[in-house]
Every structure is written in C-alpha cells, then in structure tokens.
Amino acid sequence: MNRPTRIVPAILTDDPKTLKTMIRQAETFTSYVQFDIMDGQFVPSHSISCEHLASVPKKLDWEAHLMTRRPEEQLDCLQKAGARKMVFHFEATPSPEAIIAQARHLGLGVGLAINPETPVSAFLPLTSTVDSILFLTVHPGFYGSQFMPEVLDKIVELRNTRPNADIGVDGGIKESNVAQIAQLGVNSIYVGSAIFMQTDPAASFRRLTELAQGA
C-alpha cells in the first residue's frame, strides 16, 4: 500500500452528555471520526441517535456506522447533520443496492460493513458500487468485544480479489494487534475503547497511529 494506514477514532455512547465530551476530546487529536448508531434491533444495544449528532456542533469531519435494521431511515438525517459518509451493514437489508442509490442521491459517501460470519463471496458484487468495505472483527454492538482473528483471512481474500478496494477494520483493536492488522494492507483501522477508555485518549491515538504506520 502506498498510503499509510490511518487510525479512525470510533465514538460509541448512549449518553448525549458523554457524546459531547468525547467529541471535544477527539477534536484535540484528530480531524476525522466515526460515530456508531445502534437501534437495539440489529444489535442488542442502543446508542445516541442521528438527532443527537445533529444537535452537537463539531469541528470534525465524520462518518456514521449504522448498526440498524433499517438504515435507509437514517440517511436524510445524516445528510442534514453533515455526515461525509454512512456505513451500513450488508446483513441489515435485503436490498443493499437501493440503500446505496439513496445515499448517492443525497451526496453521501457509502461504506458497506460486513459481520464476521459473512463470506466475501456474498458481497463481492457490491464492492464496485461503494467507497469502502468495513470488516467487523467482533460481533457488533459493544465497546471492548473480543477480537476474532479468523476475519483477517477474509481481509486477505478481498485484497487479493480487489487490489484497489478501500478496506477498513473495526472491533477489538488495541496496541497488541494493530500492527498485525496494518500489515494486511488495510486503509483504515477503527478504534473505540483502546482510545476513549484509556487515561489519555490523545496519547493512545498517537501510539496506535505510530504502530499502524510503522508496521
């Protein structure tokens, strides 16, 4: 890969006050974040909503990771709230093509998130219609979930099949495994608890970036 792997802080909370705190923290060390939105249906947990995001002034560029059963219902709000991109789950809908088309019509970037059990062959035809593929290396919905190394084989498979694909990885990333993941040639590594649940989030972000880019 010619481009160094970037670390993207992933913000997950169900509390609007904590959301503001995490945004202000992130603004001190990065210019781009991902917000996780969960509906309690596609995943067991609930989180802040798009409406919460829209109510908080931000100096950051951002994308939303929709862990929701009906992602199409979120798109208008995300566009109005200023999202650069939305990432929805392949497994959440029987008609991903329609959601991609709707997002494009709104001028949103589009990413496709993939749960750990889904084979590459299932979504491969869609890779040319989205901006990025996001592999989940945990079962989605919680900070601090256990990393699933078997997903790494799928990352290698997709990179070999689609050499120019923009590939991201999300879930269970920490200092002990970030270099291993970066060595696979991924473009972005999304990190939540290993940044925001640490004593010094800014220092943790810098250390993870050093490890990823030095891999």
Which residue among 39, 61, 170, 200 is the active-site one? 170
Which residue among 15, 36, 61, 153 is the active-site one? 36
Question: What span, in angstroms and rounded, lies between the C-alpha atoms of 45 and 10?
Answer: 16
Q: What is the DSSP string of the chain?
A: --SPPEEEEEE--S-HHHHHHHHHHHTTT-SEEEEEEEBSSSSS-B---HHHHHTS--SSEEEEEEE-S-GGGGHHHHHHHT-SEEEEEGGG-S-HHHHHHHHHHTT-EEEEEE-TT--HHHHGGGGGGSSEEEEESS-SSSTTPPP-TTHHHHHHHHHHH-TT--EEEESS--TTTHHHHHTTT-SEEEESHHHHTSS-HHHHHHHHHHHHHT-
**Does 76 qualify as catalytic in the annotation?**
no
**Does 61 qualify as catalytic in the annotation?**
no
3-state secondary structure of 154: helix
3-state secondary structure of 64: strand
Residues labelled as active-site residues: 36, 170
